[in-house]
Amino acid sequence: MAPMGIRLSPLGMAVFCLLGLGVLYHLYSGFLAGRFAFFMLSEPAAGGPETPHGSAPGGAVDLRELLAVSVLAAVRGGEEVKRVREGNVLNAKAKGKTREGAEEQLTTGDLLSNRRMFYLLKGAFPAVQINSEERVDTADQETVSWDHSIPEDIKQKIQPKEVPAESVTVWIDPLDATQEYTEDLRQYVTTMVCVAVNGKPVIGVIHKPFSSYTAWAMVDGGSNVKARSSYNEKTPRIIVSRSHAGKVEQVARQTFGNKTAIIPAGGAGYKVLALLDVPEENQEEADVYIHVTYIKKWDICAGNAVLRALGGHMTTLTGEEISYTGSDGNEGGLIASINMNHKALIEKLPDLEKTSHK
């Protein structure tokens, strides 16, 4: 009942109700419009490109995801390398000569491993620059997908970390130690992936196809491999390329004495593993790795990253850091060590730098 003396007009009541309904309609339609706009901004347009997995808005990539894909790529490439070798269908041929005049070999294993590794990485991270030892034939493109899974050991040791995609360069070596591969010296053969950020190696993966052993490490992250407990600085065991043993032996023994051991071996990946605690029966052990001539960056980037992650060093023979941008070659040779006085090693071996440009 209305208060005493006040009469409610039916027309007034109707106008009041209509005004109330108008206010409610305005508020509710605004809410719906906001929800619709949010939905349209949250979902990609039909038929439009989606942000690739591993790439955040703004062109960033997650290094933990990139490490996971790099490990998978090295393993998948290794499967091709092993299959070709065991089937004895190498189809080896010369693809050119090194600066020293030796013939460089190319096999079906190189090509198939390269195709598998390249397209797996490119499919997962299309915005990232990838440099590979072998030429990628676009007419022979392969679709290799990543299921977005990250192995448990990587999850436990590595935290997500995003970096701009344009700062990343991936270096692939689809078959390291091809010459030894053709000679059936399987222990030296590796497949490798390296990730450099602004030219510095931060992720390294070295996989041995014939034993299924994989070493990986991320700088300021973690690794599944470690350094050995002790190294010999006074009379170090020096691992070198098979063709360079004579060049290094004379200088090394003049420096460290006649008891200095020179270990000839194939493959840059194998030589880096020789500096680490690797649970492999046929893996030789060394204290220092030296290379005295020009070498390609895809041969050494992964090993450089692994050593850096473990506190080791890989530099030119004069002690300069190696940048993984620009050209694909390193002119200054290299010396690598871990848990040793790296600077003192360089100072003891000054004559080796003179041979690195020959």
Structure tokens at 225: 């491999």
Cite the DSSP H helix spans in 125-157.
152-157
Q: Which residues of 104-139 are buried (b: 16+ CB within 10 A; e: fewer)?
A: ebbbbbbbbbbbbbbbbbbbbbeebebbbbbeeeee
Residue the block writes with tokens 């989606």: 50
Determine whether 191 is an active site residue: no
Would you say 204 and 309 are in contact if contact means Cβ atoms under 8 Å apart?
yes
Which residue among the candidates 62, 107, 108, 110 is catalytic per the annotation?
110
CA distances from residue 309 to 32, 146, 220, 224, 305 in whole angstroms, order as listed: 53, 26, 6, 11, 6
137 known ligand binder: no
63 known ligand binder: no
Determine whether 178 is an active site residue: yes
175 known ligand binder: yes
Q: Enumerate the β-bridge partners of residue 238.
A: 262, 288
Give the three-state DSSP class for 118.
Answer: helix
Structure tokens at 88: 């004895």
CA distances from residue 188 to 25, 125, 181, 206, 208 in whole angstroms, order as listed: 76, 30, 8, 11, 8
Which residue among the candidates 108, 169, 178, 214 is catalytic per the annotation?
178
Structure tokens at 229: 């407990």
Q: Enumerate the β-bridge partners of residue 164.
A: 60
184 known ligand binder: no
133 known ligand binder: yes
Catalytic residues: 110, 178
Can you say which residues are annotated as belonging to the binding site for Mg(2+)? Answer: 133, 173, 175-176, 299
Can you say which residues are annotated as belonging to the binding site? Answer: 133, 173, 175-176, 299
